[in-house]
Amino acid sequence: MTPAPLAAHPAADAPAPVATHCPYCALQCGMDLAPAAPGGPPGAVAADGREALPVTVAPRQFPTNGGGLCQKGWTSATVLRATDRLTTPLVRGADGRLAPTSWDAALDLVAGRLAALAAEHGPGAVAVFGGGGLTNEKAYTLGKFARTVLRTPNIDYNGRFCMSSAAAAGNRAFGLDRGLPFPVTDLGGADAILLLGSNVAETMPPFVQHLAGARAAGGLVVVDPRRSATARLADPSPGSGQGLGEGVHLQPVPGTDMVVLLALLHVLLAERLADREYLAERASGFDDVARSVAAWWPERAETVCGVPAEELRRVARLLAAASPSRGGRGAYVLTGRGVEQSAQGTATVTAAINLALALGLVGRVGSGYGCLTGQGNGQGGREHGQKCDQLPGYRRIDDPAARAHVAAVWGVDAGSLPGPGLPAVALLTSLGTPGGPRALLVHGSNVVVSAPNADRVRERLAALDLLVVCDVVPSETALLADVVLPTTQWAEEEGTMTNLEGRVLRRRRATAPPGAARSELWILAELARRLGSDVAFPTDPADVFDELARASAGGVADYSGLSHARLDAHEADGAGLYWPCPATPDSAAQESSEPPGVMARRRSDSSRGEHPGTPRVFLDRFATPDGRARMVVVDHAGPADDVRPDAPVHLVTGRVLQHYQSGAQTHRVPELERLVPEPYVELHPLLGLRVGVGDGALARLASARGVIEATARWTDAVRPDTVFMPFHWSGAGSVNRLTTDAVDPVSAMPEFKVCAVSVTPVVEPGPAVEPVETQEVRA
Amino acid sequence: MSHEPHEGLRVPHRVVVVGHGMVGARLADELSRRDADGALDVTVLGAEPYEPYNRVLLSDVVAGRTDVAAIGMPTVDDGRTRVLRGTAAAAVDRDARVVLADDGTRHPYDHLVLATGAVARLPDVPGLGVDPGALPAGVHALRTLDDAREVVAATVNAPRAVVVGGGVLGVEVALGLAGRGLPTTLVHGAGAPMDRQLDHEAGAVLRAGLEAAGVAVRTGVRPQEVLVVGGRAVGVRLDGATAEPGETLGAGLVVLACGTAPETALARRAGLAVERGVVVGPDLASVSDPRVFAVGDCAQPPEGSRGLVAEGWDQARRLADALVALAARPRPVPPRPEGPREHLRLPGDGASPSMAVRLGTLLSSRAPGAAAGVDTRGTDVVKVKAGPLSVVAMGRCGTGRAPAPGERAVRLGDPVAGRYVEVVVADGVLVGATCVGDPRVAADLTAAYTRRTPVPADPAFLLLTPVMATAEPASSPEHMPDDATVCRCNGVTKHDIAACVADGASTKDDVARATRATTGCGSCTEAVCGLVGWLGVARKEAVTSG
């Protein structure tokens, strides 16, 4: 039976619930949306005086979530009827206020201004900023619009802040970047999981189920400067270091995770625990890497990373014992933003990959390396061409063959496609500067809260001639815009999302959008038409997907064997298909056009002769020219903005369970907002006593870039040399006003996760923090 | 002769590095990384036939903790740098700016770097012979890979071992040999091992730790003679206050760990100023010749040297920057105005570096403002590689530490548990510490010392792992606070569940329907079941009694 969109089930007595996935993170928990009866759904979701919600959420059995949902998922329907939901286009008037207008007026205005700016300053004067929450169809169309209609090289997206370091390291080592190159459920069978820089217990709670096997084996190793909720799963007893049954928590100095990895590899080699047979067969570059880690014996590593040498040895032995070459049931190395959002993020992920390769894990069933993708479509978002250096199918924009293929699909001349543009931080920094972009289109991103050095971002946006923001709610960024265009979201649209495992999932429409909200697919098609483009822009998501699939054919991320119809059919008796999934199975002639090394496990069980998709990549070979994984020498350099006498404390940032990213969605859910209503800073009591900031008092944090204030929470979960702040807020407690925009030299990912601050008590609240202007929306 | 670059004609700047050990090889690597366009022409002369290896780990090789194949260090492989292994420098003609090698080859230079390291110091006692290169069989220093291999080989047949010298290396080797099951005695002249880093009390705790690990420790004694029969060592005769007259320790293996002396013979012959080591200024240039530099153990910089490899690596980094700048702009760089930061200036105590190549920390070199002054950072942390026995000392520490105004020293002595911690605080930062027997505290202290992060208002808090004085999470439902979160995924408190039970919920599923508890990751299922059970009973009792 094929689950189908709501439209296929016209008014029945009890309409079938629509099977879709959660609007938030990359775990993409399965959920059912039941149309609510008029008068509002039962339960506690609807708050007093709020419009009744159009659907009711129920968890659905799906491999990633096992029938679980976190509080964000349970309450996700509330965002559909946010009290300030955008329902009509807004244009900033002569009085400086945003005022409602018609679509025609808004689109004519935008098209006219874009055309004028491009005519005066060249096509690069218009920039586009996308998001990892957009569906595959929207991300693809956005990239196509930028390259064929605007012809600007300047398009990048907020995934540059999330996934770019892991992507760069994965591509370099394996020739292919799929967050988890294996089904997430495989994790459950492992004896050990090394988790670096990821607080899954808060960021994707149902994921914790997949750690159960390793916990039962005493093999969950969490590397985090904080004793986070996830670290507590491994070692509930602070400071004992004895790993009470479920694992080990290593608590390095912020910015030194890489040293932990280098030392673990050192121990494997010193104690002859590496899988030499695997390395000889499947990897290259091992000898140089082995020599490079000779300098990181555990005692030296301890003096840099603050993790006792014997704990490093113990963890290395634990991982080795779990590895297949030593008879274990399997081991995984997983990285998250904590280690990736660093000026040495690509190198740190490379060190993690080197470790996994030395253990002989990658490309073996039941073991592996993976990165935990963050945003809902953080995987698909980095495959379809909204990155500044990329075309659909995870192709490089500077590859002539890729340009020719994609240009042919788009019906344009390959020579007309622009080359690589500026990556996110450089793009934002260049806005409104001489020679820089004069106009910016923002889709699915709230850059004044989520980008580093946020005060500068705000300043650059103010320097633009035109800022257009497409969003569902008036985010902080939307409030700065000249034109705001209301879009559909999640339960109001059809499309696909590619989750953290590379599994392509269907997002389905369960309710109509409110007011005049329209899909970005329609908006971009309308703009293209007004800008005089003759390039076709389909607006039906299924049609867009078919075109995306053709554009991806032969690329690394090959979707050409997929369609909405096939995904729907497959979901009835399966649980989604993994890319690569080329259109042409079994044909030897086509095999050579596949990306090298992607060994689809080819079975002929599909009666239609379709490619079965690829749940596990790398089993036979890696996607490199010689089929071997490349080990690359990396070394530790430390944070770009390290502690110093006038900023002697490390600041680390992260998330809380109740909020998501910039909070544009979750701040509008009263149930979540009630639990975590305001920004706060965690600090150790010893630091609090030293600097005179009591528990519950207001603390002032200053970095080389900005000053903010937040309520202090005393906890021994942070090191005494470190403070922690969640990043979900704008205004006086917006931690990204402090973070550094130093970037990784390979991936251009900013170093969100560590910078140096001073911490002082606030005697008179307010004056030191410059207020942030906010614009009211005129009713 | 003179080799000056000319306008418009690019002549590579010739750098000759004498020494291919940990620091010489690191320098070659640092130069290669910085010189993408071939402005430098680098030649490295190494006396040993091997590729560079990590000398610090030789004691781990002896202990069997490290595979000897795993200590090879990176070699420069850029196609430009010439590395001549097994080629020793015999002389330097500074007028002609050329190095003469022992194979007769000549190596002209624009700049010469001496990285000749140090040699093991041998006690002047009968039995060792006059030629330090030809010790009797069974007697070894531990300076080279060959030494380590021979010591390991000797452990097979020797019935007993004596380690002479109770500094860091002696302690490491004695523990390593004892760990191999060889009866081992550590012989040390001072009153306690590692007296340069540890005060008496800390030394006593270390001594107890050594003895617990099977090492016999003899302090206050020196070797009077190494007894040799038929060219082979059979024992060591002791001398000293605590030795019996004529007392002899039988040993088929004698390891000499008596410190090192900078290898300066080449520099002396070349007429460079040499005191303990090659005398260099803050820019690492010889005070006698601005074209000659010295780094690592052979150098004597103004801030002093402790013989730590981190110091040498830090010097290699600084010198590589300077040489690349010189190649780009061939004029001597003026000496930098400032000396090292005050608290990092080490006392010029004249003591020769320990034989152990100890370790330290090379922190970020990218912090803003790092350009000012000679920027050596936190390179004086001494951590013994002793497996489970944790011994760390840094900065202001040891018996040599005279009390200084403004310093506060706080101690924790716990000899029965094998623990001793001392912290020295000045101006709100940690300026020194000693920590024996508590690896976590040691790691925290090292981080605080090297980064100068703020220390607690009361330094006594530094003596323990800083855990908040809160009760353990309640394990039983009745002791759980009312506002305790039971289900994290859905933010459900004990209070919420209690309210639910009061409304008639009697199973986990009832609670899940009403509150969503257990519907996230499922970790709290057991806790919720426990609460529902306990609350249900409590409710019934209340109903019954009410």
Q: Which of residues 682-711 of A touch B (CB under 8 A)?
A: 684-687, 689-691, 704
Is-contact B288 B350, C-beta < 8 A? no
- Does A497 map to a domain? yes
Contact pairs from chain A to chain B, CB under 8 Å: 209
Q: What is the mean pLDDT of residues A468-494?
A: 95
Helix (H) or strand (E) holding A498: strand A495-498
What is the CATH number that goes with domain B13-118+261-342? 3.50.50.60
Give yes or no: residues A712 and A747 share one domain: yes
**Full strand arrangement of the beta sheet holding A483-486:** A98-100, A90-92, A483-486, A466-471, A439-443, A126-130, A155-157
Give yes or no: residues A43 and A185 share one domain: no
* Three-state secondary structure call for residue B496: helix
Contacts of B74 in chain A (CB under 8 A): 288, 291-292, 294, 633
Nearest to B70 among A290, A657, A716 (CB): A290
Contacts of B443 in chain A (CB under 8 A): 302, 306-308
Say which amino acid occupies B81: T
Contacts of B473 in chain A (CB under 8 A): 236
Q: Which of residues 468-497 of B touch A (CB under 8 A)?
A: 468, 470, 472-473, 488-491
Q: Which two tokens stand for residue B455?
A: 């220390």
Q: What is the three-state SS of B359-416?
A: CCCCCCCCCCCCCCCCCCCCCCEEECCCCCCCEEEEECCCCCCCCCCCCEEEEEEEHH
What pLDDT shows up at residue A49? 53
Which candidate, A86, A7, A5, places its Cα nearest to that of A518? Answer: A86
Contacts of A68 in chain B (CB under 8 A): 489, 519-522
Give yes or no: residues A73 and A152 share one domain: no
Q: What is the mean pLDDT of residues A393-401?
A: 94
What is the Cα–Cα distance from B202 to B195, expressed in whole angstroms?
9
Reported as a pLDDT band with limits 50, 70 and 90, residue A768 is: low
The residue written with tokens 């290169």 in the block is B133
Residue B354, chain A, CB below 8 Å: the answer is no
Residue A390 has pLDDT above 60, yes or no: yes
CB contact under 8 A, B66 and A311: no
* Three-state secondary structure call for residue B29: helix
CB contact under 8 A, A638 and B363: yes
Give yes or no: residues A352 and A385 share one domain: no
Contacts of B54 in chain A (CB under 8 A): 294-295, 297
What is the Cα–Cα distance from A151 to B274, expressed in whole angstroms?
68
What is the Cα–Cα distance from A466 to A481, expressed in whole angstroms?
8
What A634-637 contacts at long range (C-beta under 8 Å, 24+ apart), as own/partner pairs, is A634/A258, A634/A262, A634/A292, A634/A344, A634/A347, A634/A348, A634/A350, A634/A351, A634/A354, A635/A262, A635/A292, A635/A347, A636/A256, A636/A258, A636/A259, A636/A262, A636/A304, A636/A344, A637/A343, A637/A344, A637/A347, A637/B364, A637/B365, A637/B366
Q: What is the mean pLDDT of residues A574-600?
A: 60
- Does A576 map to a domain? no
- Does A168 map to a domain? no
Nearest to A239 among B447, B458, B467 (CB): B467
What is the average pLDDT value for chain A, to the nearest integer?
A: 89
Give yes or no: residues A422 and A403 share one domain: yes
Contacts of A67 in chain B (CB under 8 A): 519
The per-residue b/e assignment along B215-254, b for 16 or more CB within 10 angstroms, e otherwise, is bbbbbebbbbebbbeeeebbbbbbbbeebeeeeebebbbb
What pLDDT shows up at residue B365? 28
What is the Cα–Cα distance from B253 to A197, expressed in whole angstroms?
48
How far is residue A279 from each of residues A176, A190, A320, A356, A361, measured CA to CA in Å?
A: 19, 21, 14, 11, 10
The CATH number covering residue A239 comes to 3.40.228.10
Q: Choosing among B490, B493, B500, B515, which should be mutated to test the A contact, i.e. which has the most A CBs within 10 A?
A: B490
The CATH number covering residue A710 comes to 2.40.40.20
Which one-letter DSSP state was computed for residue A235?
-
Give yes or no: residues A17 and A118 share one domain: no
Sequence-separated (6 or more) residues with CB below 8 Å from residue A588 = none
What pLDDT shows up at residue A767? 53
Sequence-separated (6 or more) residues with CB below 8 Å from residue B522 = A66, A68, A208, A209
User: Does the bond joining A181 to the residue before it have cis omega, within 30 degrees of 0?
Assistant: no
Residue B286, chain A, CB below 8 Å: the answer is no
- Distance from the Cα of A235 to chain B's closest Cα (Å) equals 13
What pLDDT shows up at residue A597? 42
- Distance from the Cα of B378 to chain A's closest Cα (Å) equals 9
Task: Give the largest Cα separation in chain B, rounded.
Answer: 109
Contacts of A70 in chain B (CB under 8 A): 489-490, 520-521
What is the Cα–Cα distance from A624 to A582, expressed in whole angstroms?
18
What pLDDT shows up at residue B305? 77
What is the Cα–Cα distance from A41 to A57, expressed in whole angstroms?
10
What pLDDT shows up at residue B9? 53
Residue B519, chain A, CB below 8 Å: the answer is yes
Among residues A341, A371, A401, which one ends one of the domains?
A: A371
A255 HSE (CA, 13 A, CB side): 26
Nearest to B447 among A306, A638, A642 (CB): A306
What is the Cα–Cα distance from A762 to A768, expressed in whole angstroms?
9
Give yes or no: residues A66 and A95 share one domain: no
Q: What is the three-state SS of B295-314?
A: CHHHEECCCCCCCEHHHHHH
Task: Say yes or no: do domains B13-118+261-342 and B477-545 share a fold.
Answer: no
Q: Which residue of chain B has the CA closest to A645?
A: B452
Residue A73 has pLDDT above 60, yes or no: yes
- Does A465 map to a domain? yes
CB contact under 8 A, A643 and B453: yes
Is-contact A766 A452, C-beta < 8 A? no
- Does A740 map to a domain? yes
What is the Cα–Cα distance from A246 to A217, expressed in whole angstroms?
7
Which candidate, A182, A162, A165, places its Cα nearest to that of A173? Answer: A165
Is-contact B280 B286, C-beta < 8 A? yes
Q: Which two tokens stand for residue A201?
A: 């217990």
Is-contact A505 A499, C-beta < 8 A? yes
How far is residue B422 from each of residues A209, A307, A466, B306, B425, measured CA to CA in Å?
A: 44, 20, 62, 21, 10
Q: What is the three-state SS of A156-171?
A: EEHHHHCCHHHHHHHH
Is-contact A266 A237, C-beta < 8 A? no
CB contact under 8 A, A272 and B365: no
Contacts of A704 in chain B (CB under 8 A): 368
Is-contact B315 B300, C-beta < 8 A? no
Which candidate, B432, B433, B431, B429, places its Cα nearest to that of B421? Answer: B433
What is the Cα–Cα distance from A238 to B445, expressed in whole angstroms?
17
What is the Cα–Cα distance from A180 to A219, expressed in whole angstroms?
19
Reported as a pLDDT band with limits 50, 70 and 90, residue A65 is: very high
DSSP conformation letters of A257-279:
HHHHHHHHHHHHHHTT-S-HHHH
Nearest to B519 among A69, A299, A658 (CB): A69
Q: What is the mean pLDDT of residues A115-128?
A: 96
Host domain of residue A482: 90-162+378-543
Give yes or no: residues A668 and A736 share one domain: yes
- Distance from the Cα of B500 to chain A's closest Cα (Å) equals 13
Helix (H) or strand (E) holding A731: none
Give yes or no: residues A350 and A221 share one domain: yes
* pLDDT tens figures, A123-175: 999 999 999 999 999 999 999 999 999 999 999 999 888 889 999 999 999 99
Contacts of A272 in chain B (CB under 8 A): 67, 70
What is the Cα–Cα distance from B128 to B459, expressed in whole angstroms?
49
Reported as a pLDDT band with limits 50, 70 and 90, residue A658 is: confident
Give yes or no: residues A410 and A507 share one domain: yes
What is the CATH class of B390-463? alpha beta
The total of structural domains in chain A comes to: 4
Which candidate, A362, A284, A372, places its Cα nearest to that of A323? Answer: A362
Residue B499, chain A, CB below 8 Å: the answer is no
Q: Choosing among A299, A311, A721, A741, which should be mutated to test the B contact, i.e. which has the most B CBs within 10 A?
A: A299
Q: Residue A547, Cα to own-chain centre: how many angstroms?
A: 24
- Does A643 map to a domain? no
DSSP conformation letters of A241-256:
-S--SSEEEE-PPTT-
- Distance from the Cα of A710 to chain B's closest Cα (Å) equals 20
- Does A614 map to a domain? no
Q: Residue B70, Cα to own-chain centre: how many angstroms?
A: 18
Contacts of A304 in chain B (CB under 8 A): 361-363, 450
* pLDDT tens figures, A432-455: 999 999 999 999 999 998 888 989
Residue A244, chain B, CB below 8 Å: the answer is no
CB contact under 8 A, B390 and A310: yes
The residue written with tokens 């192709």 in the block is A395
What pLDDT shows up at residue B307? 76
What pLDDT shows up at residue B520? 84
* pLDDT tens figures, A628-655: 999 999 999 889 999 999 999 999 999 8
Cα angle, residue B300 at apex, residues B298 and B303 outer, rounded to 5°: 140
Residue A7 has pLDDT above 80, yes or no: no
Residue A633, chain B, CB below 8 Å: the answer is yes
What pLDDT shows up at residue B329? 67
Is-contact B286 B272, C-beta < 8 A? yes
- Does A13 map to a domain? yes
Q: Tell me which range, A350-364, A752-766, B346-360, is most confidently predicted by mean pLDDT.
A: A350-364
Among residues A53, A81, A109, which one ends one of the domains?
A: A81
Residue B465, chain A, CB below 8 Å: the answer is yes
Task: Give the largest Cα separation in chain A, rounded.
Answer: 74
What is the Cα–Cα distance from B423 to B393, expressed in whole angstroms?
10
Q: What is the mean pLDDT of residues A329-345?
A: 94
Residue B70, chain A, CB below 8 Å: the answer is yes
Give yes or no: residues A367 and A383 share one domain: no
What is the Cα–Cα distance from A185 to A540, expressed in whole angstroms?
33
Q: What is the pTM of this model?
A: 0.88
Q: Which of residues 575-604 of A touch B (CB under 8 A)?
A: none
Which candidate, B245, B241, B61, places its Cα nearest to that of B140? Answer: B61
Residue B229, chain A, CB below 8 Å: the answer is no
Reported as a pLDDT band with limits 50, 70 and 90, residue A679 is: very high
* pLDDT tens figures, A182-204: 999 999 999 999 999 999 999 99
pLDDT in tens, chain B (546 residues): 444 444 445 678 899 999 999 999 999 999 998 887 788 999 999 998 888 899 889 999 999 999 988 899 888 888 889 999 999 999 999 999 999 999 999 999 999 999 999 988 888 888 887 666 688 989 999 988 889 999 999 998 889 999 999 999 999 999 999 999 999 999 999 999 999 899 999 999 999 999 999 999 999 999 999 999 988 999 999 998 888 888 999 999 999 999 889 999 999 999 999 999 999 999 999 999 999 999 999 999 988 777 788 888 889 999 999 998 888 765 544 443 333 322 222 333 333 333 222 333 333 222 223 333 333 345 578 899 988 899 999 988 887 777 788 899 999 999 999 999 999 999 899 999 999 999 999 999 999 998 899 999 899 999 998 776 554 555 566 777 888 888 888 888 888 888 888 888 888 888 888 888 888 888 788 888 888 888 877 777 766 664
Q: Which of residues 308-327 of A touch B (CB under 8 A)?
A: 308-311
- Distance from the Cα of B507 to chain A's closest Cα (Å) equals 18
Q: Which of residues 34-63 of B touch A (CB under 8 A)?
A: 53-54, 56-57, 60
Give yes or no: residues A263 and A346 share one domain: yes
Q: Which two tokens stand for residue A427?
A: 């793009």
Sequence-separated (6 or more) residues with CB below 8 Å from residue A586 = A602, A604, A609
What is the Cα–Cα distance from A234 to A237, expressed in whole angstroms?
9
Return the CATH architecture of domain B122-258: 3-Layer(bba) Sandwich (3.50)
For A143, phi and psi rounded to 5 degrees? -65, -40
Among residues A312, A336, A371, which one ends one of the domains?
A: A371
The CATH number covering residue A67 comes to 2.20.25.90
Q: Which two tokens stand for residue A702?
A: 């200053």
CB contact under 8 A, A294 and B53: yes
Contacts of A303 in chain B (CB under 8 A): 359-361, 378, 381, 383, 446, 450
Return the CATH architecture of domain B477-545: Orthogonal Bundle (1.10)
Query: What residue segments make up the domains of chain B, in order of their start?
Result: 13-118+261-342, 122-258, 390-463, 477-545
Nearest to B521 among A205, A290, A716 (CB): A205
What is the Cα–Cα distance from A160 to A130, expressed in whole angstroms?
10
